[in-house]
Amino acid sequence: MYGFINTCLQSLVTEKFGEETWEKLKASAEVQDVFMTYTVYDDIITIKLIQEACKVLDVSMEAILKLFGEYFFKFCKMSGYDRMLRTLGGNLTEFIENLDALHSYLALSYQEMNAPSFRVEEGADGAMLLHYYSDRHGLCHIVPGIIEAVAKDFFDTDVAMSILDMNEEVERTGKKEHVVFLVVQKAHRQIRGAKASRPQGSEDSQADQEALQGTLLRMKERYLNIPVCPGEKSHSTAVRASVLFGKGPLRDTFQPVYPERLWVEEEVFCDAFPFHIVFDEALRVKQAGVNIQKYVPGILTQKFALDEYFSIIHPQVTFNISSICKFINSQFVLKTRKEMMPKARKSQPMLKLRGQMIWMESLRCMIFMCSPKLRSLQELEESKMHLSDIAPHDTTRDLILLNQQRLAEMELSCQLEKKKEELRVLSNHLAIEKKKTETLLYAMLPEHVANQLKEGRKVAAGEFETCTILFSDVVTFTNICAACEPIQIVNMLNSMYSKFDRLTSVHDVYKVETIGDAYMVVGGVPVPVESHAQRVANFALGMRISAKEVMNPVTGEPIQIRVGIHTGPVLAGVVGDKMPRYCLFGDTVNTASRMESHGLPSKVHLSPTAHRALKNKGFEIVRRGEIEVKGKGKMTTYFLIQNLNATEDEIMGRPSAPADGKEVCTPGNQVRKSPAVPRNTDHQQQVYKGDPADASNEVTLAGSPVAGRNSTDAVNNQPSPDETKTSVVASGPVLSAFCVVL
User: For the whole prediction, is pTM greater than 0.85?
Assistant: no
**What average pLDDT does this structure show over 452-477?**
89
**What average pLDDT does this structure show over 18-31?**
85
Strand spans (E) along 216-328: 243-244, 248-249, 276-280, 285-288, 310-314
Half-sphere exposure of residue 45: CA atoms within 13 angstroms, side-chain side: 21
Higher pLDDT, 209 or 352: 352
Decide if 651 contacts 535 (C-beta within 8 A). no
Q: How far apart are CA 547 and CA 518, in angstroms?
A: 13
**What average pLDDT does this structure show over 451-459?**
82
- pLDDT exceeds cutoff 50 at 386: yes
- What pLDDT, on the 0 to 100 scale, is given for residue 608? 95
Task: State the SS3 of 45-87.
Answer: HHHHHHHHHHHHHCCCHHHHHHHHHHHHHHHHHHHHHHHHHHC
Decide if 312 contacts 336 (C-beta within 8 A). no
- What pLDDT, on the 0 to 100 scale, is given for residue 421? 84
- What pLDDT, on the 0 to 100 scale, is given for residue 82? 87
* 598 burial via Cβ count (<10 Å: 0-12, 13-18, 19+): buried
- pLDDT exceeds cutoff 50 at 318: yes
* 691 burial via Cβ count (<10 Å: 0-12, 13-18, 19+): middle
In terms of DSSP bridges, do strands 518-523 and 462-474 run parallel, antiparallel, or are they unpaired?
Answer: antiparallel
Q: What spatial distance separates the first Cα and last Cα of the chain, rounded to whole Å?
A: 81
Report residue 691 CA to chain centroid gap.
63
585: number of Cβ within 10 Å: 17
pLDDT digits (tens, 9 = 90+) for 107-122: 777 777 888 888 888 7
Q: How far apart are CA 471 and CA 708, in angstroms?
A: 13
- pLDDT exceeds cutoff 90 at 357: yes
Q: Domains of the chain by range and CATH?
A: 266-393 (3.30.450.260), 458-652 (3.30.70.1230)
Decide if 575 contacts 521 (C-beta within 8 A). no
- What pLDDT, on the 0 to 100 scale, is given for residue 559? 93
Q: How far apart are CA 107 and CA 111, in angstroms?
A: 5
- pLDDT exceeds cutoff 90 at 369: yes
- What pLDDT, on the 0 to 100 scale, is given for residue 197? 47
**What average pLDDT does this structure show over 249-253?**
49
Neighbouring residues of 434: CB distance < 8 A, sequence distance ≥ 6: none
Q: How far apart are CA 329 and CA 664, in angstroms?
A: 75
Mean pLDDT of the chain: 78
**What average pLDDT does this structure show over 641-668?**
70
Neighbouring residues of 107: CB distance < 8 A, sequence distance ≥ 6: 113, 115
- What pLDDT, on the 0 to 100 scale, is given for residue 420? 85
- What pLDDT, on the 0 to 100 scale, is given for residue 477? 92
Report residue 618 CA to chain centroid gap.
48
Decide if 148 contacts 70 (C-beta within 8 A). yes
Band the pLDDT of 326: cuts 50, 70, 90. confident
Lowest average pLDDT, out of 31-45, 69-83, 508-522, 633-647, goes to 31-45
Neighbouring residues of 115: CB distance < 8 A, sequence distance ≥ 6: 100, 103, 106, 107
The helix (H) or strand (E) run that includes residue 304 is none
